Amino acid sequence: MMNYIFGVLMLVSIICSVITGRLEALSNAILSGASEAVQLIISLFGMMCFWTGMMKIADKGGATTLLSKLLSPIMKYLFPDYKKSSGANKAICMNLVANFLGLGNAATPMGIAAMKEMQREKNLKGTANNSMIMFVVLNTASIQLIPTSMAILRKAHGSTSPFDVMPAVWISSTIALVVGILVAKTLEKRRN
Amino acid sequence: MDNIGSFILPITIFLIVIFGFSQKVKIFDTFMEGAKDGIKSTLLIIPPLIGLIVSISMVKASGALDIFTCAIAPLTNSVGIPEKTIPLMILRPISGSGSMAIINNIFSQSGPDSFIGKVASTMMGSTETTFYAIAVYFGSVNIKNTRHTIPAALCADFSGFLMSVLTVKFLFFRN
């Protein structure tokens, strides 16, 4: 599916830029987009190594085992493929907690570690298994305790109460998450 | 409240290190072992990220966003979604920095405490950069067949957008 999306994005852009007469801007965007990507990767690189390192310490110190025990009722429903104290289970818990606390920089490396563990324990050779899909869906609709970056931006623009949207964010993201989980669970049955 | 974010990070690291010491873990050796894996993971996500980011910059530069906004406006107006948030809804799943730029625009035009400002804040806060997560996570383990990931994630995003409008209406603009 990513194959179609990648192709369609580029084709649609080219067609639209012909219609709107922005071919030159489009050409510039291709050049700047590529270097923008590399800049993002460089800034990601340090955080990635730092957090995979910290996670290894958390793992050996038993913090992740504790976490996976606490979360085991939810984990059993969402990720039936992975047992309570498996490496995948622990890495998933770390990622979910990091997301919940708003540690985006830490959540991505932990998530990648979780994907690697899931792949190692149940490898379908290039195809995503149900738990991997559930995991990525959770990450695309993740619930955040305090939407800090949003509040900072609101304040910068002169909001009188930058945090007052929090209840709306909680309700909306919870419903988005529930919908994501239900759709994923429904589709996995249909296509198995 | 503004400072809570800056507390969480140090506390997390503090707990990890304390746990490590209490179990007599060789902290630095273990750290390096883990950090080495980080290098490999970063290398794996370079190709999907470059592909995604270049194609998204093309979308942003092409004016496709304006065309789509005009096309979808009648549909979203009938559901009560403000027209100004359409570019945000289109860009949110594919680009974090792009949607941030749109939010900035909305805030300086309508103000962060207006109806549109609050809806946009809630939309931004309750969803994630879906395609970035898909590209990074599946890219890191070389998975090409993502099965039903994209439909499920997009359903979640869409319900998040719809709920943003409804909750802001209900909580702040009820008359």
Q: pLDDT tens digit string along A116-128?
A: 999 999 888 889 9
Reply yes or no on whether the pLDDT at A192 is more than 60.
Answer: no
Tokens describing residue B137: 């996570």
Asked if A146 is an interface residue toward chain B (Cβ–Cβ < 8 A), one would say: yes
3-state secondary structure of B145: strand
What are the φ/ψ torsions at residue A86 (nearest 5 degrees)?
A: -70, 160
pTM: 0.88
Tell me whether residue A66 is in a domain.
yes
The answer to whether the Cβ–Cβ distance between A115 and B137 falls below 8 Å is: yes
Distance of alpha carbon A115 from alpha carbon A113, whole angstroms: 5
Tokens describing residue B88: 């945000």
The structural domains of chain B, with segments of one domain joined by +, span 37-172
Distance of alpha carbon A22 from alpha carbon B163, whole angstroms: 35
Cα distances (Å, whole numbers) of residue B77 to A117, A124, A136, B71, B74: 45, 44, 31, 11, 5
Tally A–B CB contacts below 8 A.
355
pLDDT in tens, A25-40: 999 999 999 998 898 8
Q: Which helix (H) or strand (E) holds B92?
A: none
Contact A168, B115 (CB under 8 A): no
Give the pLDDT mean for A68-74. Answer: 89
Beta bridge partners of B145: A127
Contact B127, B92 (CB under 8 A): yes
pLDDT category at A103 given cuts 50, 70, 90 is confident
Contact B157, B93 (CB under 8 A): yes
Q: Report CA dihedral (A73, A78, A83, A84) to the nearest 10 degrees.
A: -30
Distance of alpha carbon A62 from alpha carbon A78, whole angstroms: 23
Tell me whether residue A36 is in a domain.
no
What interface predicted TM-score (ipTM) does this complex get? 0.88
Domain that holds residue A85: 46-142
Distance of alpha carbon A33 from alpha carbon A28, whole angstroms: 8
Mutate which of B110, B143, B168, B172 to test chain A, going by most A C-beta atoms within 10 A? B143
Closest CB from B36, B129, B156 relative to A179: B156
The answer to whether the Cβ–Cβ distance between A111 and B137 falls below 8 Å is: yes
Integer-rounded Cα Rg, in Å, for chain B is 20
pLDDT at B4: 61
Closest CB from B57, B134, B143 relative to A127: B143
pLDDT at A181: 96
Closest CB from A61, A103, A158 relative to B20: A61
Residue A12's closest CA among B66, B152, B93, B130?
B66
Give the pLDDT mean for A60-66. Answer: 86
Q: Say which residue the tokens 């290039």 belong to.
A: A126
Distance of alpha carbon A7 from alpha carbon B112, whole angstroms: 36
pLDDT at B5: 59
Reply yes or no on whether the pLDDT at A191 is more than 60.
Answer: no
Q: Which residues of A touch B90 (CB under 8 A)?
A: none
Contact B45, A116 (CB under 8 A): no
Closest CB from A119, A141, A164 relative to B157: A141
In tens digits, what is the pLDDT along chain B, a chain of 175 residues? 455 656 777 888 999 999 899 999 999 999 999 899 888 888 888 988 899 889 989 998 998 988 999 999 999 888 889 999 999 999 999 888 889 889 989 999 999 999 999 999 999 999 999 999 999 999 999 999 999 999 999 999 999 999 999 999 999 988 6
Q: B143 to chain A nearest CA, in Å?
A: 4
Tell me whether residue A9 is in a domain.
no
pLDDT at B58: 93
